[in-house]
Structure 1
Amino acid sequence: MVSLEFFKAEDFAGVNYILDETQLRFTASAEQALRNIQNRDDTDAFPVTIFEDDKPAGFFVLDFGQDKLELTKNKDAVLLRSLSVNPQMQGKGIGKKAMQKVDDFVKENFKNCTEIVLAVNQKNNSAYRIYLQTGYIDEGKTRIGRSGPQHLMYKKL
């Protein structure tokens, strides 16, 4: 069973998996994302561990910082970023199940949040399909990210 919990230091060994070059073009490793959070002046980013049967299986960040305003005008939105699943556990639907649980996790922990936004590289077809299947909307808006054009997607809560 897939579950989500705020990242704890003891989760690090389980989420410190190696992503291949292709995946690193599209997302940050957990280590990189945690370092980015540490280097910021604000405390608006919340790392989350994805568990599969009580074992760390993936990672993402819920970011309430100013970056979200590149994707939405909604100040009560959160930017979902740096999503990854351990390569040894990919292909089991863990990422999709995690995305199905994000809405309730956000509603439960961030009562004022009314929208989740994200950007996905246009070449990352598997992630794009998962986002569409889990209710994210693509209205055709794009931007250029570090690895090329990205779809801007959102889901109202």
Structure 2
Amino acid sequence: MDNPEVSKTSTHILIMNNDTPVGFFALEEGEKVYKYSNNPMARVLTSFSIDSGSQGKGLAKRGLKLLPSFVKEVLPNINEVVLGVNKRNIAAINLYLKTGFVDKNQVYDGPKGPQHILHLNI
């Protein structure tokens, strides 16, 4: 992975459906966390995507519902996952809210416009 937007110390995760990779996300640490949370035990979920051929099958929802148990197992010192989602992306906001994220009415002015900051307690 050579994406300058993703920190070198992030944890990169493939989302699998049986033996087929269908998606990806990163859990980032460091300075980026403090744009969204003052919790030093938080990580930022970034780059969440599902392959276009696998969309509409509930894989994003299933993957996000597994996130708390995955974090507990792989990153046991982390107690919160935060993310920023564009205020115009209603479908993504609804997906995150359905999978346990909470909107605490915080907004971050990102490079692509205002972002809802959503929190998931682990």
* Rounded Cα–Cα distance in structure 2 between residues aligned with 1:52 and 1:71: 30
How far the C-alpha of 1:35 sits from its partner, in A, is 1.5
* Rounded Cα–Cα distance in structure 1 between residues aligned with 2:105 and 2:6: 33
Amino acid at match of 1:82: S
Taking only aligned residues, the RMSD between alpha carbons, in angstroms, comes to 1.6
Aligned counterpart in structure 1 of residue 3 of structure 2, from 21, 26, 36: 36
- Provide the TM-score with structure 2 as the length reference: 0.93
Aligned counterpart in structure 2 of residue 57 of structure 1, from 22, 37, 40: 22
More helix by share: 1
Alignment check: 8 A CA contact 1:64 1:79 kept: yes
What SS does the corresponding residue of 1:36 show, helix, strand or coil? coil
- Provide the TM-score with structure 1 as the length reference: 0.73
Aligned counterpart in structure 2 of residue 142 of structure 1, from 107, 117, 121: 107
Residue 67 to residue 38, structure 1, CA distance change in 2 (3 Å): closer
In the other structure, the counterpart of 1:132 is 97
Amino acid at match of 1:113: I
- Gaps in structure 2 of 5+ consecutive residues: none
More strand by share: 2
Count of equivalent residues:
122
Larger Rg: 1
Residue 38 to residue 72, structure 1, CA distance change in 2 (3 Å): closer
How far the C-alpha of 1:36 sits from its partner, in A, is 2.5
Aligned counterpart in structure 1 of residue 32 of structure 2, from 55, 58, 67: 67
Runs of 4+ in 1 over 3 A off after TM superposition: 37-40
